[in-house]
Structures are given as structure tokens and as C-alpha cells.
Amino acid sequence: MGKLDGKVAIVTGGASGIGLATVKAFAEKGAKVVLADFNVEVGQAKADELKAEGLEVSFVQVDAGSEESVKNLVAKAVQLYGKLDVIVNNAGIGSLGEMHELSYDDYHKVIRVNQDGVFFGTKYAVQEFLKTGGGVVLNTSSILGLVAEAGAYPYVASKHAVVGMTKSAALQYAGRNIRVNAVSPGYVVSGMVNKEALGEFYDGLVAKHPIGRLGNPDEIAHAFVFLAENDFVTGTVVPVDGGYTAQ
């Protein structure tokens, strides 16, 4: 459909995994993409690599859990490219452990990035969209935004919140040409989630997916491209999870 050609997009958590795959997918469709990440060294290196491939990608550092940092990110994107059309609120962190042993600081660290980051990104992107006549907000939730898992209390809380935030914002702005959707990925192969790193635990993760394997970042990025391009989709959460939540 080519609807991303000439569009300006921000992807937070863009230096690795799903975020990096989404940056590349959008740029290959003709978008100008701001790769936003907390890690300056890796983020800049990845942006440089994509530029060397002929793609229009710029790096901006962001702390997704800081309102001032996200506000600056959106302003920088507009400064670089003159407008903003899409934001992908993808930055996220996890935690594992017993809920009754969890400190408030450790709990809120996850909420701050995963939930507050979506709020900040949506807030400042929508402010720009209202100036220009519309735009698209895309959020990364998780299978654990649809179902739960023991030992991941703050992560589950934050990702369930993203689902509700997505639907509420979609309804609020549907009449103003602003669409809001989310993707709920299953477990995806990454630098930390792979057979070598996890051993037998990896096989247990695979067994939870009826399709018989974990996902790869490109498969999640493809869902974001679809949601960015299809003008009739809003307020939806798309599981890309190998059947995990169908059970």
C-alpha cells in the first residue's frame, strides 16, 4: 500500500529487538524514522548502520519514563523532519520475582517505563497530530497484557494497563483522525531469549506456543506496519503470539 512513504515515525526502544526491527521495517517502507533509545552508544550505532543502507534514520536518546525526555523527543522529531505521523511506544523493561518481596521502587521502575512511557508518548504525539490533522499511535503490550503469569507482577500490571490505555485513547480521538492500536507479542527470540542463553527454560517457553516455536522481531514489526497503514483499524490489540493466548 505504500502508506508509510514520506511519513515521520518515532520508535522508542528502537536500538534492539522488536524496536529495531520496526525501525527498519518502517524505513524500508519509505518512512523517516527517529530511533529513540536510552542506550546512546548502541542506538547511534544502529542508526548509523541503517543510514549506511540508504535508509532515513536518526537517533535521539530518550528515557521513556521521563515526561520531559519524551516531550523533548517528540519536539526533536518535528525539528528534524517538520512533522510527526506515527509513534511506536515500544520501550519496556521486565522483572521477575515474588510479589510479596517486591519493593515499591522495583515495582514502580517497571510501571514508569512500560505504562508511564506509553502515556507520555501518546500525550505528546497527539498534541502534534491535532496540529496536523491526524496520526497514529502504536503501543507494544504483550501476551501478558491479555493473560497473566506468576512472578511477573509489575510487568503484567503494566502491559494490561497498555491494553486499556490503547482502547480509551482510540475512542477519545477516533473522530479526529487519530488511530490508536497495540500489538501483544508472544515470546520473541532476542539476545537474552534464545536456546544458548536459557537452556532447558527455552524449551519450556517454546512449549507454551502451539505453533511450536518463538517469534522473531520481524514478525512483530510486520504487525506494526499493518496497523500503521490500515486506516480502518483503531482501538484493537493484535496478538502476534503463535497461538499462546488462544489456549
Q: Active-site residues: which are they?
A: 155
**Backbone torsions φ then ψ of 230, nearest 5 degrees:** -90, 110
Q: How far is CA 203 from the centre of its chain?
A: 26
Dihedral sign from CA coordinates of 26, 232, 163, 75: positive
Write out the DSSP string of 110-154.
Answer: HHIIIIIHHHHHHHHHHHHHHHHT-EEEEEE--GGGTS--TT-HH
- Residue 50 burial class via C-beta count within 10 angstroms: exposed 0-12, middle 13-18, buried 19 and up: buried
